Amino acid sequence: MQGKRVGMYQNPTTEMFDHGVDSCVTVLTAICMCKYVLAVDSSPIVLLVLCAVGFTGFHSPTYEHLITNKMIFRGGPTNPTEALIITQVVLVIAGLFPTFFHSPFIRFLVVAASVASVLSLAHSIHELFIYYKKDVNKTIHSTLRGYGPLFFVISLSLVWFPFLGDFYKNHSTLCMLTLALPWNYSIFRTIINEITAVKNLDTMSVLTGQLPAVIPAISHVVGIPMIIALPITFALSAFMYFYTVVVSLREVCDALGMEHFWSIRDERKLKK
């Protein structure tokens, strides 16, 4: 709706806003699904894998589009939109018929989502391989540069998230938001490059924006209580994320000589 108000397709920042909303939907859907899964199967590994496959499935076509300038919508659960819809349908059914689902089904759901995510990632890497004219070294370099930040924070999460125990049960929303913000940051930075058509993703800059994700891992190793570490991590991650949003929008608009995304176009001025 906001895109139409400002003239969709005539304002490139619309795409940034659109993808930004998509990434927020991905975060919220992942959190809702994990909260439901927690009530059925409290295995932290299951929850972590469920989040990881969701973010990987969303990140893959975004980076693929950045490099190849092609957005291929694959069928079934490997498509980010269809995967989100399937997830939300599962949540609705779970709400209407809570006794229908059980632990084995949840694990089957995680396995199915993992397969779909791996297929999406494999397809994106294959498209990079074709784009680089089957140059293996360039494909590997691009893959590490594009997917490195996301897999870096996923790996960090393995250090602390599976060991939260009762803390997660009592503070699941805080834990999930702290987990999701650095993950989503890598996707957002990829979107910025996608909008500005800059194919060389500044991986080190993205990793710098994800530095708050290191705090829970260090805290777990040295024994600092998570009730202290996670709020600090969440606050710093949120600051880095929104600071990047504001600065990026301003830079994109200035570079393109346009008004800000939420400035409504004056049709009368355009006619003159």
Question: What residue segments make up the domains of the chain, in order of their start?
Answer: 2-263
Mark residue 165 as left, alpha or beta (left: phi above 0; alpha: psi -120 to 50; beta: remaining): left
pLDDT in tens, 164-217: 888 887 888 888 888 888 988 888 888 888 777 778 888 998 999 999 999 999
Quickly tell me which residue has 């606050």 as its tokens: 235
Most confident residue range from 170-174, 216-220, 249-253? 216-220
Most confident residue range from 92-96, 143-147, 164-168? 143-147
Most confident residue range from 39-48, 81-90, 188-197, 217-226? 217-226
Cα distance between residue 182 and residue 212, in whole Å: 8
Reported confidence tier of residue 152, pLDDT bands at 50, 70, 90: very high
Q: Which of 95-104, 117-126, 251-260 is least confident?
A: 251-260
Higher pLDDT, 117 or 18: 117
Burial classification of residue 25, based on how many CB atoms lie within 10 Å of its CB (0-12 exposed, 13-18 middle, 19 or more buried): middle
Q: Which of 82-91, 97-106, 252-261 is least confident?
A: 252-261
| Structure confidence at residue 229 (pLDDT) | 94
| Distance separating the N- and C-terminal Cα atoms of the chain | 25
Share of the chain above pLDDT 90, in %: 24
| Structure confidence at residue 38 (pLDDT) | 66
pTM, to two decimals: 0.77
Count the residues in the chain.
Answer: 272
Cα distance between residue 230 and residue 177, in whole Å: 9
Mean pLDDT of 222-231: 92
Cα distance between residue 147 and residue 61, in whole Å: 11
Cα distance between residue 70 and residue 63, in whole Å: 10
Mean pLDDT of 82-98: 75
Mean pLDDT of 222-251: 88
| Structure confidence at residue 268 (pLDDT) | 47
Cα distance between residue 72 and residue 70, in whole Å: 6
pLDDT at position 234 over 90: yes
Mark residue 255 as left, alpha or beta (left: phi above 0; alpha: psi -120 to 50; beta: remaining): alpha
